[in-house]
Structure 1
């Protein structure tokens, strides 16, 4: 929990997802309820995907306005991290005025980020050991992204990676908020890194029953009876967290306040979630923010489209918020599941909705599950929003919830 009186605000956002290469286009896609999920072709390891083309990564890097040297000889996940970090950095005005570099921290959300790159290197090794690129020794480590971001932006404060399966994005935001609220840093750049699983990793999700297994009856969708698992949607997202005092000193506008948070474990190494664990972190996050469940206007649900996951989260939301509850949506129904970056992308989506006064549609819902939360439908709802939650839950019993307050 944060010390009394400490305030952490968001001054910059960055996003690169199948919904667009920057924050404005993400906001447009959310408001329109535009989905990027599509069927794949023959021979693909999964039947559905929300694609992230190399051209989108390049366009996102252009929006970040980084010098060419910053992206030289970097991996695709690292280029994506630089792209979203650069967008958030500029949006926060840190390129114009920034604190002492020793007072800026960087936290990267994610683990096992470079599976595809390692699989490609293994194929090269089998062909000829001399074909394995020397830089793989650096790039296969998740910490390479921390070091790359530190070098690109001159960050000299604390830096680390935070891994918690699909809860990684939220856990990184919690850790960044703690660094700021405890006074360890004035600014923390939090990046939900692009995870590129190896084909075998994707296939293992499929074999586990976590992903949509076949192309036959469509991809389905979260909280709808058609749900059959998640669809992979590679993405990266970033937030600049800053003390309210630092933001005021720099003249930086706050997009929202990260007013409360909670995380916990289920004491369970398996992929099955629990109502108790999810409800507990939501309730503790509300208490941390000092608000009641009745004050919440929106929940950005974890909502992967897994039948078990949706059922458990719906029951947990009902336990905390009652039968009616606030509006609920999930960006995964439009952009797919970004794995370790999912929590960060969801948080960016929630902040955009708080600032824009809208709740994005859930157009995939045609036959809601019994006890489904208050879902939006085909068209965005325009409404004032003051308080919101964003949830992220991961295999192995990682539970997390964040409370956001709209900027005045």
Structure 2
């Protein structure tokens, strides 16, 4: 197995989810096991959700201390990207450093981000074609996130979007780590963008059986026998990646290290995960970090709450770790499923748990499925974590895993 290259340092974090509009409040919610999932009758396709209000978005924007004019004529998803990027950018002290803008990069994880905006524009088109906003030609494209972020932060190096369904966040991290470890960029801003699907898209998830239905007493939870599908939880998250030596030269603290990663395909276009594909991604990621399964302290699972998805991931974890028994948890049980940003949200959760020395609880867990991993349960576990493996899997056979190491 080819090593992933020199470990890449995480120097900045940003997050916006129903658990909180910034890293501190997100971390506090994780530690307390406070779930944001609630039932709503507002729309048939949203029986349960972790709501992301305009007020919370405004708080996240305020916490970001964005450059003047950054928010001019932006869509809601792009505002969220700017908010989490600004948090991470300032945490990494990039606003204080004199770095060559041609050596700064930005990678945005996410695809089909603006379905709700496009659906609204289609309604306007039906009423009067002249009501369609001219800027829609720019804003419906996922690349609008890259363009706006580059303008706001003066990034003139490489920029790209990475799509991989629910694995998109992890895939963006992998691409960002490669740009840094290959020496293409001195620092890379990686953003898991807020996805706002059209109502028809959400209804399709429900009809497919992937999303929790309205019937029943509750949404269940990842790896619990009551699980019936994922709960939609819109969110965005960001990280700044750079070489540890570069951070040290500028006196910037390292929050954690991205020590290994892997991404694979199942050669299958259907929403049908495979044990071998998921196990292979985890095993390759650990091998790239020169890490033995017995050394892993925590697996941050993909854990959507889908009966098929949970069963496959549980079997894959058992296959990879065999006699080892790392702790496991699922941030989606607290924050809901952020779709294409899910990998970045889980990554931020992994880093704050490494730094805080805790594994967050799984409040929905009551009766684990047979063969479930060693889930944390109702109360956070306090422990000096060293290594975390974070999984993200997507419809269409996208498998990914990222290895995180505590800062040394």
Q: TM-score, normalised by structure 1?
A: 0.98
Secondary structure of the residue that 1:166 maps to in structure 2?
Answer: helix
Give the structure 1 partner of residue 354 of structure 2.
Answer: 354
TM-superposed CA distance for 1:4, in Å, is: 7.3
Contact 2:294-2:324 within 8 A present in 1 as well: no
CA contact (8 A) 2:4 2:289 kept: no
Query: Following the alignment from structure 1 to structure 2, what is the Cα–Cα distance between the partners of residues 346 and 284?
Result: 19
Kindly report which structure 2 residues correspond to 1:72-151, keeping only aligned pairs within 5 A, or say none: 72-151=72-151
- Structure 1 counterpart of 2:385: 385
CA drift of 1:7 comes to 2.5
1:47 maps to 2:47: yes
| Deviation per residue, 1:101-133 (Å, 9 max, x gap) | 100100000000000000000000000001000
Q: What is the rounded CA distance, in whole Å, between the counterparts of 2:98 and 2:281 in structure 1?
A: 34
Q: CA 1:2/1:114 → structure 2, altered by over 3 Å: closer, same or farther?
A: farther
SS in 1 for 2:240: strand
SS in 1 for 2:70: helix
Q: Is the aligned partner of 1:242 residue 2:242?
A: yes
Is 2:295 aligned against 1:295?
A: yes
* SS of equivalent to 1:10: strand
Whole-angstrom distance in 1 between the partners of 2:13 and 2:2: 22
Change (3 A) 1:341 1:2: farther
Residue 156 of structure 1 aligns to a residue whose secondary structure is coil
Map of 2:229 onto structure 1: 229
1:223-249 per-residue CA deviation (whole Å, 9 max, x = no partner) reads: 000000000000000000001121111
Aligned-pair RMSD on alpha carbons? 1.1
User: Quick one: distance in 1 between partners of 2:137 and 2:153?
Assistant: 23
- CA–CA distance in structure 2, aligned partners of residues 197 and 82 of structure 1: 19
Shift of 1:214: 1.6
C-alpha spacing 1:210/1:98, structure 2 compared with 1 (3 Å): farther
For residue 166 of structure 2, give the secondary structure of its aligned residue in structure 1: coil
- Residue 67 (structure 1) shift: 3.2
The TM-score, its normalising length taken from structure 2, stands at 0.98
Partners of 2:215 and 2:253 in 1: CA distance: 46
Please give the alpha-carbon distance, in whole angstroms, between the structure 2 residues aligned to 1:82 and 1:47. 29
Matched, 1:183 2:144: no
For structure 2, the 5+ residue unaligned runs are none
Structure 1: gaps spanning 5 or more residues = none
With over 3 angstroms needed to count, the CA separation of the structure-2 counterparts of 1:98 and 1:326, relative to structure 1, is farther
Decide whether the 8 Å contact of 1:138 with 1:144 is kept in 2: yes
